Amino acid sequence: MVRPAFTMIELIFALVIMGIVFVSLPLILINNAKSIEDNLIQESIFLTSSKITQIMSFQWDNSSSETGTGMLAASDVVNVTAGAAALVRNATTDFRVGHFQQDKRRRMTPVGNPRFATPVGPDVNDAGIFDDVDDFHGQTDAALVQSASALTSGSGYKKAYRTNTTVTYVDDDAGGTFFNGNTVQNFIFTTAAAGGTTNLKMIEVSVDQNNSGDWDTTLLLRAYVANIGETDYHKRRY
């Protein structure tokens, strides 16, 4: 009686195929783990850059626009205490050296009533509302979305993240060598805090990832925002 069974060649083929599968499986798992890790890095980058972009959408300083005019007012260039000497007011006008002295152009605060840059941190009488760049200094949260003064947590991420924000005044003249009247200089952005208010603020956002209850910093990004003011526009007020 003939019984169905594996032949020797079929058995050998089966063993070869199983061997290939078992050899390939660790490589597949390693590539999959690497793909997940790269994906988490990209997620951290998107989260951090989104936070910086959000902060940079606010006005440069609490004094940049007149009190009471709110978002309808164009931000002016404000006076600073430790900024580059070449970026001061042009004589007795409302313009900085290099400004176009025309209506609706960028200009400084009124010469007869100048406004000064404020120290880093939440401003007095802000009532907890974020209205300028340095209000975010010292903020640690897992938020991406801001509504009025309330911060709400982001969702849909593969890991639990938190962002840490630092805003600092830094040297706007690279040690006094940039505006020296000579040939073009290579300006180097510094990360060292300045001794007073300057025309340059550094925004530093790091993102921490929660790994089994421990927070590990995965990424740090920096951006710089300058005290350059805004051009004004014709607008209708209601």
pLDDT in tens, 96-155: 877 777 777 788 888 888 899 998 877 766 667 778 898 888 888 764 444 444 444 555
Buried/exposed 45-77: b ≥16 CB within 10 Å, e otherwise: eebbeebbebbeebbbbbbbbbeeeeeebbbbb
Is the pLDDT assigned to residue 178 strictly greater than 90? no
Sort strands 150-153 and 140-141 into parallel, antiparallel or unpaired.
unpaired
Mean of the pLDDT values across residues 185-210?
Answer: 85
Task: Using the predicted structure, report yes or no on whether residue 78 has a pLDDT greater than 50.
Answer: yes
pLDDT tens profile 5-30: 557 777 777 777 777 766 666 666 66
- Average pLDDT rounded to a whole number, residues 32-60: 76
Q: Output the average pLDDT for the chain.
A: 75
More confident call, 191 vs 212: 191
Q: In this predicted model, which residue has the larger pLDDT, 89 or 200? A: 200
The answer, yes or no, to whether residue 69 has pLDDT greater than 60, is no
Please give the distance of CA 146 from its chain centroid, rounded to a whole number. 15
Q: In what order do the strands lie in the sheet with 140-141?
A: 140-141, 161-169, 200-211, 214-226
